[in-house]
A = this chain, B = another copy of it.
């Protein structure tokens, strides 16, 4: 069925048949190459010729065929998003940022989830990149923290920008946030409210973001001269469920912490949920601070005080670093490589209960 079919309409019906570069060249009375130069904004080109060609292009409504360009250039006009299924909202926000950056360009976004626990991960990505010949990729945490992935991109000649919670590459290849500093401020706020017994629900082992946020937490405490018993730190893995169970572990402590910081909002929502189950009132008995400012933060009761992670801006910046120099001649580091987080105060924090 693959041999005789497809008679549909290659050459096209009546007015169909998109104009090609040849049509433009012919009507403009120049050669293909000249048209090509116009398309690719070659600097060495007579202004007059350019305008003439551009006029014809407009008149014909000509647009270069991406498939042909891809073949000739050995590179596609696609920006890839490679991620390992971190939380849903984050992936979506990143997509939004990338799409904003690609808006109005000839680039499209292709999404590629991978499995960081698979031993084939690197091979998969390599096959993907070599086959699709993407223009560039945006790497999301946690896999963005893997240096071998970045090297792989280099090897196969694919541009890349990594996103993360700490600068682990040069400005052209990295967009980071200042998680550590942001968390320090959040915890300092808690301390200023009078809290002394503050619990932490950590992110998963091996996540750089988890580490940075814990460091910020510890910084604030030690700056204030507050000790941090190991028992006040509970493990989590960024899911709602681990937030619930970690919170319950913390609730069993005596004395019980008067405030808990969770390394992300999902877990913070888990704390609030667990508190409800146990009859612990937030914020009267317990203050809670999350991280990310995903929609759920404002949609639960009480609305969560949290650190807003500028993920959309980060992604937008990352994508612009990728395509900026071809769409508007920007250098890859004209775009910021560090976006600041900020504390959003809502209803889940209050002074500690009086004893």
Q: Interface on A for B, CB 8 Å cutoff? A: 1-3, 8-10, 18, 37, 40-44, 63, 65-68, 70-71, 74, 76, 78, 88-89, 91-92, 95, 99, 106, 108-113, 127, 130-133, 157, 240, 266, 269-270, 272-273, 276-277, 295-296, 298-301
Contacts and interface: CB of A to CB of B under 8 A. Distances in A.
Contacts of A78: 110
A14 to B, nearest CB: 12
Nearest to A89: B88
Nearest to A70: B67
A18 B343 CA distance: 51
B67 A295 contact: no
A108 B295 CA distance: 29
B240 A299 contact: yes
Contact of A2 (B41, B92, B109, B266): B41
Contact of A108 (B43, B95, B110, B300): B110
A276 B347 CA distance: 13
A106 B132 CA distance: 10
Given A266-B299, A295-B296, 5 more contacts: A2-B41, A10-B74, A65-B131, A110-B110, A296-B299
Contacts of A157: 8-9
A132 B70 CA distance: 11
A272 to B, nearest CB: 7
B111 A109 contact: yes
Contacts of A299: 240, 266, 269-270, 273, 296, 300
A69 to B, nearest CB: 9
Counting every copy of the chain, the complex holds 2
A298 B10 CA distance: 52
Nearest to A98: B111
Contacts of A76: 67
Contacts of A113: 99
Contacts of A2: 40-42
A277 B303 CA distance: 11
A99 B76 CA distance: 20
B132 A108 contact: yes
Nearest to A13: B155
A8 to B, nearest CB: 6
Contacts of A70: 67, 70-71
Contacts of A108: 110, 112, 132
Nearest to A272: B301
Contact of A88 (B92, B270, B272): B92
Given A67-B67, A67-B70, A91-B92, A3 B296 contact: no
A155 to B, nearest CB: 10
A300 B89 CA distance: 16
A133 B18 CA distance: 12
Nearest to A73: B6
29 contacts: A2-B41, A3-B43, A3-B44, A8-B157, A63-B131, A65-B71, A65-B131, A66-B131, A67-B67, A67-B70, A67-B74, A68-B71, A70-B71, A71-B71, A88-B295, A99-B113, A106-B131, A110-B110, A110-B111, A240-B295, A240-B298, A240-B299, A269-B299, A269-B300, A272-B301, A277-B301, A295-B296, A296-B296, A296-B299
